[in-house]
Amino acid sequence: MISINDQFDKIDEYFSPKVVGEVNDVYIKIAKIKGDKIPWHNHKSEDEMFYIIDGELLFEDAVEGKFVMRKGDMHIVRRGVDHKVSATSECRIMLVENKKTAHTGDVDSDITKSINQQLK
Amino acid sequence: MISINDQFDKIDEYFSPKVVGEVNDVYIKIAKIKGDKIPWHNHKSEDEMFYIIDGELLFEDAVEGKFVMRKGDMHIVRRGVDHKVSATSECRIMLVENKKTAHTGDVDSDITKSINQQLK
């Protein structure tokens, strides 16, 4: 058993997903988001689940538009759908992603992390 | 986007997982647990993730023993590992399971629900 809050304490960088669990072919990840550095991107063959642990996340989704997610909200981005997220104050999120999902899709940006970096 | 709390409001039965999302080959489910009706069981070929949204869950795991999970705790039961959960007061959990996972494994018990019942 692990405490997700303890895992958040180990994260000292925004936009840097951390793998906290492995369930079949998916990774459970957590990340702290603050600011607007994530580029528009999509994941061609994989859905991605966002769940808000704490704070507010501004979600921009090419299909569903622009909306604010709060603690306890969940959104699943379907494969191929362009999206980006940002936050004014620190927002803590949980992600469920296929193991092979690149977190900024094919877009290589300042904040892009390899899966090995996410596994640290 | 959905609110997990709104989804919990739609559940009027304990031990009855409800599918709230589909991400690649896994289902995201939620359930309310109160009491001790879940039999010992395992999932031969699938890992299962438990995350506590609210309340306390008594976890019994053939490998890791007996422990209490609280809000924000996560535990992943590996395939083949016998386990059971119970709760004194209502506990709200999120599950990440392979789409083909039977929630009480091969054990058919009073509280066993088919995947069609979980999709309602």
- A46 close to A102: Cβ distance less than 8 angstroms: no
For residue A22, CA distances in Å to A27, A46, A102, B48, B76 come to 5, 16, 16, 9, 8
User: What is the tens place of the pLDDT at every residue in B89-98?
Assistant: 999 999 999 9
Query: Using CA atoms, how far apart are residues B36 and B54, in angstroms rounded to an integer?
Result: 17
**What does the pLDDT look like over B60-71, one tens digit per residue?**
999 999 999 999
Tell me if chain B has a CB within 8 Å of the CB of A111: no
Domain ranges of chain A: 4-118
Among chain A residues, the shortest Cα distance to B50 is held by: A1
CB-nearest to A72 from B3, B74, B98 is B3
If one counts every other C-beta atom within 10 angstroms of the C-beta of residue B28, the result is 22
Within an 8 Å CB–CB cutoff, is residue A27 touching chain B?
no
Architecture of domain A4-118: Sandwich (2.60)
- Stated pTM of the model: 0.94
Question: Each residue of B44-71: b (16+ CB within 10 Å) or e?
Answer: eebbbbbbbbbbbbbbebeeeeeeebeb
pLDDT at residue A120 tops 90: no
Chain A touched by B57 (CB under 8 Å): no
What is the enclosing helix (H) or strand (E) of B28? strand B26-35
Asked if A2's CB is within 8 angstroms of B75's CB, the reply is yes
List of chain B residues whose C-beta atoms are within 8 Å of the C-beta of residue A23? 26, 47-49, 76, 96-98
Cα–Cα distances (Å) from A65 to A104, A106, B10, in that order, read 19, 21, 26
- What pLDDT, in 10s, does the model give residues B13-55? 999 999 999 999 999 999 999 999 999 999 999 999 999 999 9
Using CA coordinates, name the residue in chain B closest to A68.
B1
Q: SS3 of A71, please?
A: coil
